Structure 1
Amino acid sequence: MDASDHLINQDFWNAVVPHHTSSAFYNLEVFKAGATSLLPIELEEVGSVEGKTLLHLQCHFGMDTLSWARLGARVTGVDFSEQAIAFARSLAQELGLDASFICADIYDLPNKLSEQFEIVFTSYGVLCWLPDIERWARVVADFIQPGGTFYIIDGHPLTRIFSSDPHATGATDLKVASSYFMREPAIVEVRGSYADSGEEFPPKKMLNWNHSLGDILSALIQAGLTIEFLHEFPVMHWAPFPFLKQGEDRLWHFSQGDPQLPLLFSIRATKG
């Protein structure tokens, strides 16, 4: 990512912070009252974090980071949005939670942080913002202490090849619109975001990359990590297609009878 690409995406994420913090999607007031923002999959697959050090990469404005803190982790959150990190720090202070937040691009983080962690965590909509998946994996591995764990849950790269008519009624309406093996970034102008309708949100450009599941796994292995598992799920943390239905688990599901496609994947890996 060159400097101009970085600034385009940073500008987008700075702009969405006030919209996200007031959105029903994030439901900040319920979180402040004690609810967790973490979803069932990562809670089960990460396991107990009590007393462990945890680095949360691409943490946005810190709700998940602070949810891990509530579960007993000693947390550090990182994001490249100045607005997001400023809000995360104020939220931690308001809630009386012990957390550190660093404003840094993930590729530059080794110049700002030297500590290693028992758990490195990242989740939901993170890899599509990163142009160099191998460099990302090396940064991840460098921050894991020997014997430590890396965990990621993110949108399955297969979902990014589809387009869907806003009036689509099922998975069979999906159309292949782009290549799974994307080598150049997709440049998109959007109004709003996954958490905001965008009616009062000025159009913003953003750059996205699609990394295949094979590229992600290979990058982590080449960085020296041992893969414990790769899981795929026919559920999503938001509704990329209009026909998905939200369940009591807060995840979005295909209707019964629809083809079940992978919408999320998770990987847990260890460092020897």
Structure 2
Amino acid sequence: MKTVLITGANKSIGFETARQLLQQGYYVYLGCRNLQKGQQAVSQLQSEGLTQVEPIQIDVDSLESIQAARQILGQKTKVLDVLVNNAGVSGILPQPALETDINLIRQVFETNFFGVIAVTQAFIDMLKLSSEPRIVNVTSGLGSITLQNDPAWKYYQVKLAGYFPSKAALNAYTTVLAYDLRDTAFKVNAVDPGYTATDFNHHSGPGTIPDAAARVVKAATFGPDGPTGQFFSDDNSPETGISAW
């Protein structure tokens, strides 16, 4: 049975990603900052007959928490097949370039960028033991520099001085990580789940959580011939590394 760790998985897209991977036969470690909320999420899944799941406490903003989670998971399994870096924050809105508090921008980067790097580095040894390791970094179309400079893009006017650069940096890191692992069985990709109605955006998005999670799951379950080093989004652009499904 393949194993997967999903950060920020006790609600919204992360939770639905866990549900869909459970339905495909994966054993899911539900990463969450608050263990009680994680257990509540696990109980809900188990009530649906999805029992191969348990919570793992992990705060991606804390190296101590990440290291503790790595130790705990290492006691449960030697091999990790899939890592979904889903945890993220938008930061307080709006975020104009000249007025946004730099400490807020740093906090957004801490979660969306540095947190992903820290988690990936902490669990890479377990992933390397998998025959088909997969890393999915959940990003945003707002992280595409090409789209952000296209006046015809439907979200062109959405400019966030912390969130947009943090996701652009995440996309760049995904490219570098995939390159470093190019001669291995790893598939490393960034996935934009789309503008989805969640707590993250006060349920303002037009997309549904099941559809968003399905995009993440698709990248998490790529076969041996699947792509790597790509950014998948329904907002297709000619930017290098940007792809549509």
Deviation at 1:222, TM superposition (A): 5.2
Q: Which AA in structure 1 matches 2:196?
A: W
**Is this contact kept in 1: 2:135–2:187, CA < 8 A?**
no
Give the number of equivalent residue pairs: 176
Q: Tell me the equivalent position of 1:141.
A: 124
The SS at the match of 1:171 is coil
Of 100, 104, 110, the residue aligned with 2:58 is: 104
1:218 has 2:201 as partner: no
Compared with structure 1, are the counterparts of its residues 229 and 176 closer, same or farther at alpha carbon in structure 2 (3 Å cutoff)? same
Q: Which AA in structure 1 matches 2:43?
A: S
In structure 1, what is the Cα distance between the partners aligned to 2:87 and 2:7? Answer: 11
**Which whole-Å deviations, capped at 9, do the CAs of 1:42-77 have from their partners, x for residues lacking one?**
xxxxxxxxx323333332243322322222222222
Higher percent of residues as strand = 1
**Is this contact kept in 1: 2:8–2:86, CA < 8 A?**
no
Identity value in percent: 14
**Which whole-Å deviations, capped at 9, do the CAs of 1:61-95 have from their partners, x for residues lacking one?**
43322322222222222111234302212213322
Q: Tell me the equivalent position of 2:44.
A: 91
Q: Tell me the equivalent position of 2:21.
A: 68
Paired residues for 1:1-272 under 5 Å: 51-61=1-11, 62-98=15-51, 99-106=53-60, 107-108=66-67, 109-114=69-74, 115-122=77-84, 124=86, 126=88, 129-132=111-114, 133-144=116-127, 145-156=129-140, 158-159=142-143, 171=154, 173-174=156-157, 176-178=159-161, 182=165, 211-219=169-177, 226=184, 228=187, 230=189, 236-238=194-196, 246=207, 250=211, 260-261=236-237
Deviation at 1:219, TM superposition (A): 4.2
**Is this contact kept in 1: 2:2–2:80, CA < 8 A?**
yes
Compared with structure 1, are the counterparts of its residues 246 and 77 closer, same or farther at alpha carbon in structure 2 (3 Å cutoff)? closer
In structure 1, what is the Cα distance between the partners aligned to 2:126 and 2:84? Answer: 13
Identify unmatched segments of 5+ residues in structure 1: 1-50, 164-168, 183-207, 252-258, 267-272
The SS at the match of 1:100 is strand
In structure 2, what is the Cα distance between the partners aligned to 1:173 and 1:140? Answer: 36
TM-score (norm 2): 0.51
Q: Which AA in structure 2 matches 1:53?
A: T
**Is this contact kept in 2: 1:180–1:212, CA < 8 A?**
no
**Is this contact kept in 2: 1:57–1:120, CA < 8 A?**
no
RMSD between aligned residues: 4.6
Q: Which AA in structure 2 matches 1:110?
A: R
In structure 1, what is the Cα distance between the partners aligned to 2:19 and 2:187? Answer: 26
In structure 2, what is the Cα distance between the partners aligned to 1:244 and 1:92? Answer: 25
TM-score (norm 1): 0.47
In structure 1, what is the Cα distance between the partners aligned to 2:191 and 2:39? Answer: 34
In structure 2, what is the Cα distance between the partners aligned to 1:176 and 1:147? Answer: 41
In structure 2, what is the Cα distance between the partners aligned to 1:237 and 1:89? Answer: 26
Compared with structure 1, are the counterparts of its residues 67 and 218 closer, same or farther at alpha carbon in structure 2 (3 Å cutoff)? same
Q: Tell me the equivalent position of 2:231.
A: none
**Which whole-Å deviations, capped at 9, do the CAs of 1:208-254 have from their partners, x for residues lacking one?**
77624222332465589845465777x715167xx98659x946xxx
Q: Which AA in structure 2 matches 1:215?
A: Y
Identify unmatched segments of 5+ residues in structure 2: 61-65, 90-107, 213-234
The SS at the match of 1:92 is helix
In structure 2, what is the Cα distance between the partners aligned to 1:173 and 1:224? Answer: 33
Compared with structure 1, are the counterparts of its residues 60 and 174 closer, same or farther at alpha carbon in structure 2 (3 Å cutoff)? same
Compared with structure 1, are the counterparts of its residues 70 and 142 closer, same or farther at alpha carbon in structure 2 (3 Å cutoff)? same
